[in-house]
Amino acid sequence: MTCSCEQLGFKAEILDESAMARAVTRISFEIVERNKGTDSLCLIGLFSRGAVLAQRIAAKIGEVEDGGVSVGLLDITPFRDDERRAGTSDFSKIGFDITRKRVVIVDDVIFTGRTARAAIDGLLSRGRPTVIQLAALIDRGHRELPIRADYVGKNLPTSRGETVKVMVKELDGCDKAVILKADSG
């Protein structure tokens, strides 16, 4: 599979493959440290790249902690406040109860906070976790809601008009994060 960024045209590369791997490793260790292990811990990845990153974080945690952690995948589409569509299907795959769990939502980029808000709504419709935390590979600022990531791979100050794109091998043929040219978004 060819890397999809070759067709996009990008202004700047933010993370290459090795930097992404280091960020995932750092986030994984921070999650284990802050939660004092993996008891009652689970990861919920947001479709689609957050889901891939959640799987990678879980694999990394599994390398260092006995038992690893459960991973679910959350489709936030039915919970968005900007594009509500009647009869929208929910493609989430969470095969465990999140009630009384320590849930870490995993996303690729946090920007305005609206995706995280929709994810929280989606989780609360399924149960009542003990705590909800947020991990993002890239935090680019510009919040519209009072939401912050607990775990961040890279803080990246951007202008509101710029577009940050995270690519993962499983979906895009390569691992990297870029700022797209204005006409590529």
User: What are the tens digits of pLDDT across the range 83-93?
Assistant: 655 566 788 99
Res. 9 pLDDT band, cuts 50 70 90 = confident
Check residue 90 and give its pLDDT: 80
Res. 82 pLDDT band, cuts 50 70 90 = confident
Half-sphere exposure of 44 (CA within 13 A, CB side): 29
Cα separation, 148 vs 134, in Å, equals 8
Q: What is the mean pLDDT of residues 120-133?
A: 97
Q: Read off the pTM.
A: 0.92
Helix (H, G, I), strand (E, B) or coil at 46: strand
Classify the C-alpha dihedral 123-151-41-35 as positive or negative. Answer: negative
Check residue 53 and give its pLDDT: 98
CA angle, residues 146, 148, 150, in degrees to nearest 5: 150
Cα separation, 27 vs 76, in Å, equals 22
Q: What is the mean pLDDT of residues 59-80?
A: 93
